[in-house]
Structure 1
């Protein structure tokens, strides 16, 4: 029994007075509602129930225990193929049913297979918890009610739409002098559920208090308008509605208005940004807020796996799984939570490219006295020992100290350690590395931390967190149809049909009740603003990896608001001011800086590139002759120059290199190098012993392993299996009749020949030169790992049709072996095991091609000019530099 207050203003006044006496306990679910009761921290009905259970020695599961026991129950009852996936899908449905009723034996009455499965899982789950004296967090209110607790004087605020278990607990625990704020009307509609609760409590002796403040707040008028009870008569600036072209503009427009309020002296704690998808919007808002120097707080919980700490741990798992591959390990050691290793260390590391544990261990001990032995995992041990293993790594790398600059990471570290302590006591069974990885990944997924907690900042909230609170300024963003209100979606376990079946026996929400609750949240949110309410949406939204056009939410119309186009009209940061003055003739003195000068110069370069006008040094036209007559070229270098001059310029003049990224399979160039070395070793052995079977698998495997050592081949994941596949591919290529016909003998392997071709000094390395038995005829053979003949250089029409490599090789062989004649010049595919067809260019075309190459070098002209079909771009490492693909798309 107690008093039900219909309106918040008189309730808050009476409740605050009662709480000052110390005779009542405040029940407020969020920090915002607690602040309305002048309390320093929230205290929920669940918190009160947990206190009662603790007094009786009943333990409430933490998230990790909850997941583990439910996983065991599902495994024993359903035995699904994908256990982890099933637990994640079923967990929400189990929690909702546990909240719905204390007695779920009614589920036995249903013959539907799905409901029978739900009953079996819940029955097994609760039996496990009963055996260890524990209770699921979703069932704490029902369990507390079963204890028949002594009544307490409560001031309950922030529960305007309570669930059935919350109402039942209030009935069981509230003393006669308790106060409960419950907005209701006698009319059926949006507040019909509140009217039912009011009548239910009245029947138990609760009294009604309908006194209302004479002065209506902005929130009162907005909520009444939403219910259609009155017209909305407010000052134009008090309620605003905007439409923005996209998310970023909406974020900038919103934070720009907030920055103006802060400059006018409005306290940050009096302003709140509200978004239904607060977790999605958080990173964008934080990025813009930091640029604008607006203090922003993101209290929404995120899993530890999305923190820097989580990323550090997941990278650590990848390092160990990759057997300390260079790129993977380098990324981990470069992480902000790893102690900085210094420029000298990284210079040596990039030169040596350590690729094994021992190599990294030697490097870190020599330059930093860091012992990596702590990383080596045991083969198999208990979960308790595994957690100690991980804690030792955290201590050795001083991760807690490295996390201090970030509040999120500091909180995340504490949550992780608590989680590891919980894991350590969960089971005594032994497990291997793979199983421990699964446990750790699950822990990082289940444990949460505030996304960006700071005190005194402008908060970003979802509507649920602000119900019952009061803010002077509310900015409700992302108010698009389908987002606000959310679209109703069927759930995989408790779909709408199943809910309809269950509603005959259980007070479970169906589609209509869910839609009503969604609308009620918005109605409650409208009561929050006291001075100004700004409602906006973007006409272009994004989600699920794609963009989508959006229209205004129906809520705009219900409030009588017509959104007006809005954009960022005033620079709210120095970066925005710089962006504006990039194209202005005069620049204010306060903005003049070297940074802006550099930005203007870069912008002008980009403009010239996009205009496709006269080319300059930024498009490869440097105007400085290259001393080509003094330089020694390879055939592949001339091929690069002839396919796209800028590709050669980027490699040989600018000295750019491709990023060294971790691979799981052989790159085409690595495959070619390895195959060439294997064949060189094999054919040398065959020269010494012609009876040797080149196709013997065991012999080929030995040659393969020898070649790997000679070329310092990087160890790839699953390489043992991959090696077998590559050996079999070479086996087929060698067995083909065109590989080494009976009438030919190998004259030279990997022959290095220096010669001159069209005045170019050339060094050629020719894969194989064969001699036809009994003649002076030679056959030049160049191995290719592709299935097609290589593209040549550009002809006069811009197509890659002039083969340069074989003509250069032929000139080199004629120079080296003048007493012989070249009768065949061919490419051989190691993939297909056959000769590749290629067309030999005539001397006129070759002469013209050579002249074009010389012209580029003599004029210092290396434009971004690939062939007309962009075949030269296919395997180019410098697309990010020349941006030819993006330019063509524009």
Structure 2
């Protein structure tokens, strides 16, 4: 084998030119191999232009894995690459097989992902199963997962071979093996293999190169490595280590290409930013092409970049394709980039592929499945009104009224429990329009809308039996495929190309999961759905646009060059970014393998790659480079610039002219008039800067902003809260409030407490019915934890219900513990779908923790000498009635008299204890802390005051003597009726009556100011964003409740 030539040189050296010249010289015998297909295409186009090759000339450039697949195909070996879904399935099935044979961690989607990550890393680094087993045998510090990883790795390899599938490292291994067996020969036009653009090679790639070099007449490797710059050892650490190892195993001839003198500040930064020595000061002759652009937040940053791009396109005659915008977090920012750039009329080519799970069709499908599983009409409401269900002849007005109809029906339960309420609503709608009952309904409640709602609910009911708890991959895949056949969902793809690609990807995944590869073995829907969601998160679709400003992640910017480059979002934690966490092996665990000679990269290699990533980004700017960071994150928390951005700024501290940093001003979101990039920009800028506009067409643009200006002026100057602050003045709207919250409305206690704490919160939640959007974060929410605890306690106390007081005390600890465990198991099973997206290990830990807490709580109850026994559990009344939970529950509401008002309540009392004297103790479990004594006395906490009165009314002859808020998570209980303290109890009752009256009158009068109660601790109460609460502004307003405790205006 001839010596392999390695040409070392930076991006600004003559390395690529040398290889390009050699390629042109040996064009009939040479093939260029690159790290990316885009680079291969660009270099081939360059060669055709420079050498005037004919247009039909055969391809002479390939990406490395593409070339490996081509070699295998030529040798008579068909190549079918294993999809990510197939690889996940192989690992999942291997784990399931092992689970039947031995005790292993619960199989979850997350565990499969992490295990596959380890296997892929091993294959990339040429670690075979035998190598791994040998290392495990020699390692003293065994890891619990070592043998498991080995068994799964072996099963994974076996399955790939059996099915004749390849992953990328396996492709390289197969080519190497067939080269050694003499089954691969290079044709005449590939006798010279030229590689360029690489930073380093994995061990699998290196073995492939050696195998190919033995067949070729010559191999030349272009390495991005300035070997003549000893001060850049940290920057080029990966290249240096690889080259040293490569020289030890083969004959290498090294050619060094010196870096050309820097002509611009961006080139100077790429050379000296990571220098270990003090760099020379930047020369004054350098082109001052670096601009720093700190921003207030992501929105301000993208708008600033967009306005600068708009200026470049209009004033500097640049083409959109000559501009690149790169963020470390482009995957997260892509929707905002597309939205803002579209508003600014800037064409976008989104290079970053976005997860399929974030596409509109995938989000719709996941939400539909969740709604079908939970059978909640509230979950179905927004889906039923989505365009996916629309038919060509559906009335737009009827579609828009669907959510309103569901709200009017006041249904909060399951779909199969909604028939009575829907029938009642239908009867009201069918009555004459001039009838009394008709006036109770909102204007949008029409017979056409009701008919459409019933039709769509019937369609939903058809989906339900298609997702049983147990089935097969084929059954579930075919069922989900029918969800994608909705007429509106497919029609939407005609106008949105991105949705078309997403639906095609969804169908491809479902078809794959229904294929024979997924045998018709039984599988639970939870397991199936976990694999399906994992497939969605790992599949990606192209962003918007096929031409325009090149928008990408920093990784996609590598090996590219543009006249103008914007690098944004350079913040601490984003760059350098954290290494991917693996749940199986920590960096210390991997170090054990490195000691045994296995090449397993860790966090240090990740940091070196992050430096190279930024180095390549700096090299991408040919004329101008804009570098930016954000001062606040999405939660409005202060964040710091990236260390790389800080070092860049310090590099030019003494430069002439200096590199200035203009921190964003308080009014930074409003563009200067010479920067406006859209009509909205113009309106805000002209009004803010009080510009004199004479052009009639421009004046017309300002009219929509006038109403906003007047609104803000009113909010800022008026002493009283106005219609812009939740004060209803319209007679029609007040009449609607009286209809909705009048004498026939059944209030929940939480509604009144919400109003008393912050009236505007009641307005958004119960009047406007704006539901806060929450995103799954992989953890058990406090609400879900509370539901589980409440149900488990109900199941536990069912056993002791109405039994003698000493029964619980006399039960053995073992029997109590077993009953607690069984109750928790049933409670968790009841919430199995809500828990399906949470890692099983998290669920198991939470179950163990709650088991301990409940055991401690019940031990304390058992040790208490008490004459009270559990009597009624989950007692419900009014519209909250659930007779299946407790037979004593009633559909009749509790009527509470306040002066001349009769207020109806609905609710659920967690537990009522009773003694032999017919005295009642009302208990409300809290999964968080209990209300304070002050809150109860002042009437801010009304729950047990009302529940105590409701219990007395529901059970004649009984009297409520105690009421307890009992926190279940190791916090102090609070007695709420002030038993034995007559004066305090009377004060509590009087305040409760006054506060109930205040809340009812305020709600019916339309008084919803953004005014928190003076006792409310805003550190623990989240105000709705729509309130736009500003303490300084509210402090200057007149309190409507002080002037009139029961305001009517």
TM-score where L is the length of structure 1? 0.72
Alpha-carbon distance in 2 for matches of 1:617, 1:510: 60
Q: Which residue of 1 aligns with 2:679?
A: 574
Task: Give the counterpart of 2:173 among 117, 134, 142.
Answer: 142
Please state if 1:413 is matched with 2:438.
no
Alpha-carbon distance in 2 for matches of 1:378, 1:651: 37
Task: Give the counterpart of 2:34 among 8, 21, 27.
Answer: 27
Please state if 1:656 is matched with 2:663.
no
Q: Which residue of 1 aligns with 2:435?
A: none
Quickly say closer, same or farther: Cα 1:475–1:232, change in 2 above 3 A: farther
Residues 691-731 of structure 1, C-alpha deviations (whole Å, 9 max, x = no match) = xxx979xxxxxxxxxxxxxxxxxxx99599xxxxxxx9663
Alpha-carbon distance in 2 for matches of 1:314, 1:840: 52
* Structure 1 residue 265, shift from structure 2 partner: 1.9
Q: Which residue of 1 aligns with 2:484?
A: 394
Q: Which residue of 2 aligns with 1:81?
A: 105
Please state if 1:176 is matched with 2:217.
yes
Residues 300-321 of structure 1, C-alpha deviations (whole Å, 9 max, x = no match) = 2333222212211211211211
Please state if 1:314 is matched with 2:425.
no
Report the secondary structure of 2:120's partner residue. Answer: helix
* Structure 1 residue 473, shift from structure 2 partner: 1.5
Residues 476-504 of structure 1, C-alpha deviations (whole Å, 9 max, x = no match) = 22334554334568754443334433335
Q: 2:169 touches 2:204 (CA, 8 Å); kept in 1?
A: no
Task: Give the counterpart of 1:223 among 256, 270, 274.
Answer: 270
Alpha-carbon distance in 1 for matches of 2:622, 2:258: 16
TM-score where L is the length of structure 2? 0.62
Report the secondary structure of 1:180's partner residue. Answer: strand
Quickly say closer, same or farther: Cα 1:499–1:887, change in 2 above 3 A: same
* Structure 1 residue 377, shift from structure 2 partner: 0.5
Q: 2:326 touches 2:552 (CA, 8 Å); kept in 1?
A: yes
Q: 2:32 touches 2:193 (CA, 8 Å); kept in 1?
A: yes
* Structure 1 residue 46, shift from structure 2 partner: 1.3
Quickly say closer, same or farther: Cα 1:849–1:181, change in 2 above 3 A: closer
Q: Which residue of 2 aligns with 1:158?
A: 197
Please state if 1:38 is matched with 2:45.
yes
Task: Give the counterpart of 1:294 among 346, 363, 377.
Answer: 346
Q: 1:297 touches 1:455 (CA, 8 Å); kept in 2?
A: yes
Alignment of 1:415-564 (within 5 A): 415-423=505-513, 424-431=515-522, 433-450=525-542, 452-486=543-577, 491-504=582-595, 505-541=597-633, 547-550=638-641, 552-553=643-644, 555-556=647-648, 559-560=651-652, 564=661
Q: 1:251 touches 1:285 (CA, 8 Å); kept in 2?
A: yes
Q: 1:799 touches 1:868 (CA, 8 Å); kept in 2?
A: no
Alpha-carbon distance in 2 for matches of 1:222, 1:576: 34
Report the secondary structure of 2:563's partner residue. Answer: strand
Task: Give the counterpart of 2:708 among 581, 586, 599.
Answer: 599
Alpha-carbon distance in 2 for matches of 1:168, 1:421: 36
Please state if 1:332 is matched with 2:383.
yes
Please state if 1:268 is matched with 2:339.
no
Task: Give the counterpart of 2:397 among 343, 350, 353.
Answer: 343
Quickly say closer, same or farther: Cα 1:257–1:400, change in 2 above 3 A: same
Alpha-carbon distance in 2 for matches of 1:315, 1:142: 42
Report the secondary structure of 1:24's partner residue. Answer: strand
Alpha-carbon distance in 1 for matches of 2:169, 2:1019: 58
| Stretch moving more, 383-392 or 615-624 | 615-624
* Structure 1 residue 384, shift from structure 2 partner: 2.6
Please state if 1:57 is matched with 2:78.
yes
Alpha-carbon distance in 1 for matches of 2:606, 2:1030: 48
Report the secondary structure of 1:532's partner residue. Answer: strand
Report the secondary structure of 1:509's partner residue. Answer: coil
Quickly say closer, same or farther: Cα 1:8–1:321, change in 2 above 3 A: same
Quickly say closer, same or farther: Cα 1:641–1:439, change in 2 above 3 A: closer
* Structure 1 residue 67, shift from structure 2 partner: 1.2
Please state if 1:96 is matched with 2:121.
yes
Alpha-carbon distance in 2 for matches of 1:560, 1:227: 14
Report the secondary structure of 2:479's partner residue. Answer: helix
Q: Which residue of 2 aligns with 1:685?
A: none
Q: Which residue of 1 aligns with 2:309?
A: 258
Alpha-carbon distance in 2 for matches of 1:614, 1:204: 84
Q: 2:676 touches 2:682 (CA, 8 Å); kept in 1?
A: yes
Q: 1:75 touches 1:83 (CA, 8 Å); kept in 2?
A: yes
Q: Which residue of 2 aligns with 1:774?
A: none
Task: Give the counterpart of 1:731 among 872, 887, 900.
Answer: 872
* Structure 1 residue 99, shift from structure 2 partner: 1.0
Report the secondary structure of 1:87's partner residue. Answer: helix
* Structure 1 residue 596, shift from structure 2 partner: 0.6
What CA RMSD, in Å, does the superposition of the two structures yield over aligned residues?
6.0
Alpha-carbon distance in 2 for matches of 1:37, 1:326: 58
* Structure 1 residue 537, shift from structure 2 partner: 2.4
Alpha-carbon distance in 1 for matches of 2:327, 2:976: 63
Quickly say closer, same or farther: Cα 1:887–1:65, change in 2 above 3 A: farther
| Stretch moving more, 419-428 or 103-112 | 103-112
Q: 2:327 touches 2:552 (CA, 8 Å); kept in 1?
A: yes
Q: Which residue of 1 aligns with 2:662?
A: 565
Alpha-carbon distance in 1 for matches of 2:80, 2:1003: 79
Report the secondary structure of 1:82's partner residue. Answer: coil
Residues 666-689 of structure 1, C-alpha deviations (whole Å, 9 max, x = no match) = 999xx9xxxxxxxxxxxxxxxxxx
Residues 206-247 of structure 1, C-alpha deviations (whole Å, 9 max, x = no match) = 666656797866565443334657654355541223433443
| Stretch moving more, 480-489 or 649-658 | 649-658
Report the secondary structure of 1:158's partner residue. Answer: strand
Q: 1:539 touches 1:551 (CA, 8 Å); kept in 2?
A: no
Quickly say closer, same or farther: Cα 1:859–1:142, change in 2 above 3 A: closer
Quickly say closer, same or farther: Cα 1:47–1:753, change in 2 above 3 A: closer
Alpha-carbon distance in 1 for matches of 2:894, 2:520: 62
* Structure 1 residue 29, shift from structure 2 partner: 0.8
* Structure 1 residue 201, shift from structure 2 partner: 6.9
Gaps spanning 5+ residues in structure 2: where?
47-58, 423-449, 654-658, 774-780, 791-800, 804-827, 833-868, 876-890, 907-918, 967-974, 1036-1049
Task: Give the counterpart of 2:473 among 370, 380, 383.
Answer: 383
Quickly say closer, same or farther: Cα 1:401–1:137, change in 2 above 3 A: farther
Alpha-carbon distance in 1 for matches of 2:81, 2:120: 14
Alpha-carbon distance in 1 for matches of 2:723, 2:195: 72
Quickly say closer, same or farther: Cα 1:585–1:82, change in 2 above 3 A: same
* Structure 1 residue 647, shift from structure 2 partner: 8.9
Report the secondary structure of 1:530's partner residue. Answer: strand
Residues 603-631 of structure 1, C-alpha deviations (whole Å, 9 max, x = no match) = 2233247xxx34444456678999999x9
| Stretch moving more, 2-11 or 247-256 | 2-11
Q: Which residue of 2 aligns with 1:241?
A: 292
Alpha-carbon distance in 1 for matches of 2:148, 2:996: 77
